[in-house]
Structure 1
């Protein structure tokens, strides 16, 4: 029996929506029912260019999408400053919410969104795609193997890319009125999520921003980093995010007995295969001329790209809620909120002279 297809509405024609709309069409349990933009002409062009189904409705407003009874769920790729308004309205209209990251400008805004979703009984999920790749499951298996990996001691994550002149002047991610968190909200979100994921979402006790973050002339962060510290086991993590450095998407995770590295954790170099390297019980060889064993490469194949797997999982959760069989899965609300808390702590540390900020859920 074919899966129930969850009908998506899309709010806006952001570039990332091209990728996610493709995922909706690749996923076996989702389809696109409608798209809305402030410009009807722009919405028509977007639907045509991205091969939407002929049945998809095209609107010249976001409200029209939310009022469409043929829309079960909405994907919100709007600028972060608009998230609280439109995600709350979507929830109030009983639409399930797939929200682009960063999900909010601060945890207070996110709490407003999550409260609306809970009140309406709709599913919430943030659009952090890499978490849905089967490689992520395999990396967690390696990390959880106490015999070979031991106890987690440190995590370092980096996400950077070099924005060109047009990006640094005109992209919404450098506009203080649209995405005031800049590189911290965009690139840093991924790094922070990776750190929390490796730590089974145990929040650190303190977060301390690195000195000398980079800013544009409008005061938006273009590069920054921070350290995270746990009292238990002396664990530590660091991250660096930037719009000013060459493309890098690394996670390095170190345990007492082993470690692993992934070089493309955000967007795999190949849609079909995700790779990472792991090793345990490393020792110097004679005269310290090298070490053994050498890291092993794991290659994890997938039939669907990670964004389609994300949409498929969201569709599965929505279908369960709509059938009345289950309540919305709250894992994603908790994970999003913890990620946002760390972003808020980095901002607070910067504003207060790079002092450690206590993190309280």
Structure 2
């Protein structure tokens, strides 16, 4: 009677994947502190401004009591703005972190690789040729972002075999080229608009929360309710994908389909938000690296909170720190993001692994 052969050895998964799954105490404490800061900023956005709203009156209005003047300020203006800012920041933070993690490049974000400009170009085309506004403008911006993503994936060949680094670098380089072309297209279209339409388009292109409503907040909330669970399922595959295409394939992961699914989720998050708020510059770019520095490693949850904090801070600063002048949130985020981008360029190799 022959002895049974040795049992097959299990597939060894590098320890790094395990470390990415375990929440650290530092990460949990940082996320808790960021969440408390986020709640404080929402309260500041509702209470601070011209006029100031006393805390007790704000609580009574939120509780359902009608107070002339205060009810309009809180429920129809400031609270919807705070809700849109929070949801937009979450969406931008998640979108940027997906791109930066997937492409192993901290400089990769919807702003840099053209997705945001694609959504902006879709909106400006709709304004220039169809006099679109409201819901039509929303759908055109969304379709512009998705079309840009499709072009990116086709030209970069994310579904073709090849080393992970080559695919990632090709995607970023193609994105930068497409972004340059879209920027030129948007500039040309602005010259073809009437003076009033060009002014409206420029205001939208800056990125602003001034037209926030409960309806727009609901659009973002529904989108996040669908996309965040989808992303949470894909994050497990993303961590396996970080081990390299060959290792991921040997573990049974369909690499091209996984990469395309992650890109589509990230693009939809970004394009939907741009359609609602306009392109809030650099929020998606800033959230991921800041969260990484705070937590000591990549964190999608913390990046979402950091994105919301950035947008709320930018909106509060733009509304209250410049005297009688109210600046759109996009101006403030752009002012914050430009020096941070230069700092990142001096410290991070663009072809690195995203460390």
Please give the TM-score of this superposition, normalised by the length of structure 1.
0.22
The structure with more radius of gyration: 2
Q: Which has the higher helix share?
A: 2
Q: Which has the higher strand share?
A: 1
Please give the TM-score of this superposition, normalised by the length of structure 2.
0.22
